[in-house]
Amino acid sequence: MAQGSEVQRGLEDVVALESRICFIDGKEGRLIYRGYDIRELAAHATFEEVAYLLWYGRLPTASQLAELRGRLASLRTIPPELARQLDALPADAPPMDVLRTAVSALAVFEPGETSPGPSSIGGAQRLTAALPTILGTYHRRRAHLPPLEARPELSHAAYLAYALLDRAPSELEARAIDVALILHADHDLNASTFAARVTASTLSDLYSAVTSAVGALKGPLHGGANERVLDLLDEIGELERADEVVRGKLARHERIMGFGHRVYKVEDPRATILREWSRKIGESKGDLRYYRLLQRVVEVVHREKGLYPNIDLYSGSVYALIGIPRDLFTPVFAASRVVGWTAHVLEEYDDLRLIRPRSQYVGPTDLSWTPIGDRK
């Protein structure tokens, strides 16, 4: 690349491709999936309907939805070889590492699903259906819970919650998870989706693309932020300490997890919706401690830094109140975003162009070879 070309660090505001899947209006705080506002989807849709919308580009009819539900429920069981692999992993392995390993291993046990192209929709649905089982199999072993049953009568959200708890969720809890899954399902070219599309753009298979994406989502600047929000709430402890703790962190130039966003310049609309769910679930449990602490942190961070909450601020409080362990918050994010990743991978196969940007080289170009014995 010509020296002197302008570098967009972090590819900020770079438009890399055309997509029909998801639109973020960062100034107005709007998020659109395939033409539908996220507020409408969170109010009316189920996760399965949103998955259909993202994969096929339109809302399903009643029979299409019933068929997809049935297919996802029938694809929940994982191969025994994979279950044995999960059993062989250390019980204290980080869940995102387990998930990354399992996604990759599933491809080895199901080689028929891996050819790139439109037939990859089979792999997309298989992975979406299997992720809760993978997480539940791993978690239930370490938590000494009874083994997982397929429970085909449960919706995807209720099955995910059941897999991670020792009980089926209440109707309110299942709907809270359903809404959280809808809100996390896609978000344009975020880091993990971009990673998936880069991998798919080499004509690699969908499982490899999702493995890349899981690795990218794990980082605390992306999916890993939700767990750390709860660590912050623990550190604050009492409402009266919120000011002091947050201001101390900002003075030390530490980032406050759950705030700021590369694209949104106002509040993330997903945060607005999940804030209500954080309150609703808190009220149903008679425990508004997290909700109140979060509200205070929002006030302080906005006053001190002018930053707005993102989705990760509120998701953890919803999951924690339902009883989902903290180290599974980011895997729950993945169990939703897998739909967006795979929709993007399918779009990439449909309009393939190898993604291969350049760097601006800023190192030397005229060094002479030094024999190894002469090097210092």
Enumerate the active-site residues: 222, 261, 312
Q: Map tokens 């939703």 to a residue.
A: 336
Tell me how many residues contact ligand ACO (CB under 6 A). 18
Cα–Cα distance for residue pair 341/299, rounded to 1 Å: 34
Q: Does 261 bind ligand ACO (CB under 6 A)?
A: yes
Angle between helices 329-350 and 47-56 (to 10 degrees): 20
Q: Which residue of 103, 257, 293, 324 would you call a contact of ligand ACO, by CB under 6 A?
A: 257
Cα–Cα distance for residue pair 309/257, rounded to 1 Å: 9
Sign of CA dihedral 92, 95, 97, 103: positive
Q: Of 89 and 307, which has the nearer Cβ to ligand ACO?
A: 307
Q: Map tokens 């199999």 to a residue.
A: 137
Contact between 180 and 156 (Cβ < 8 Å): no
Q: Which residue of 59, 93, 307, 352 would you call a contact of ligand ACO, by CB under 6 A?
A: 307
Q: Which residue of 95, 116, 123, 258 would you call a contact of ligand ACO, by CB under 6 A?
A: 258
Closest residue by Cα to residue 189 from 53, 41, 24, 372: 24
Q: Of 37 and 304, which has the nearer Cβ to ligand ACO?
A: 304
In the complex, minimum distance from the CB of residue 10 to ligand ACO, in angstroms, rounded to a whole number: 6
Q: Does 221 bind ligand ACO (CB under 6 A)?
A: yes
Classify residue 24 by its DSSP letter: E
Q: Which residue of 151, 255, 280, 289 would you call a contact of ligand ACO, by CB under 6 A?
A: 255
Q: Of 154 and 297, which has the nearer Cβ to ligand ACO?
A: 297
Q: Of 31 and 86, which has the nearer Cβ to ligand ACO?
A: 31
Q: Which residue of 99, 105, 130, 311 would you call a contact of ligand ACO, by CB under 6 A?
A: 311
The span of 156-164, 220-228, 347-355, 365-373 binding ligand ACO (CB under 6 A) equals 220-228
Q: Of 129 and 257, which has the nearer Cβ to ligand ACO?
A: 257
Q: Of 99 and 225, which has the nearer Cβ to ligand ACO?
A: 225
In the complex, minimum distance from the CB of residue 249 to ligand ACO, in angstroms, rounded to a whole number: 8
Q: Cα dist. 265→242, 246, 360 in Å?
A: 24, 21, 29
Q: Which residue of 137, 193, 310, 330 would you call a contact of ligand ACO, by CB under 6 A?
A: 310
Contact between 338 and 125 (Cβ < 8 Å): no
Strand order in the sheet with 36-37: 22-25, 30-33, 36-37
Cα–Cα distance for residue pair 50/59, rounded to 1 Å: 8
Residues 4-33 that bind ligand ACO (CB under 6 A): 10
Contacts 24+ apart (CB under 8 A), 167-175: 169/322, 170/284, 172/280, 172/281, 172/284, 173/281, 173/322
3-state class (DSSP) for residue 75? coil
In the complex, minimum distance from the CB of residue 159 to ligand ACO, in angstroms, rounded to a whole number: 23
The span of 128-136, 146-154, 289-297, 306-314 binding ligand ACO (CB under 6 A) equals 306-314
Sign of CA dihedral 19, 25, 31, 37: negative
Site string for ligand ACO, 286-305 (x = CB under 6 A): -------------------x
Q: Does 247 bind ligand ACO (CB under 6 A)?
A: no
Q: Does 172 bind ligand ACO (CB under 6 A)?
A: no
Residues 70-89 that bind ligand ACO (CB under 6 A): none
Q: Cα dist. 92→74, 85, 97, 101, 261 in Å?
A: 30, 14, 11, 14, 31
Q: Of 176 and 311, which has the nearer Cβ to ligand ACO?
A: 311
In the complex, minimum distance from the CB of residue 315 to ligand ACO, in angstroms, rounded to a whole number: 9
Closest residue to ligand ACO: CB criterion: 260
Q: List contacts with ligand ACO (CB under 6 A).
A: 10, 221-223, 225, 255-262, 305, 307, 310-312
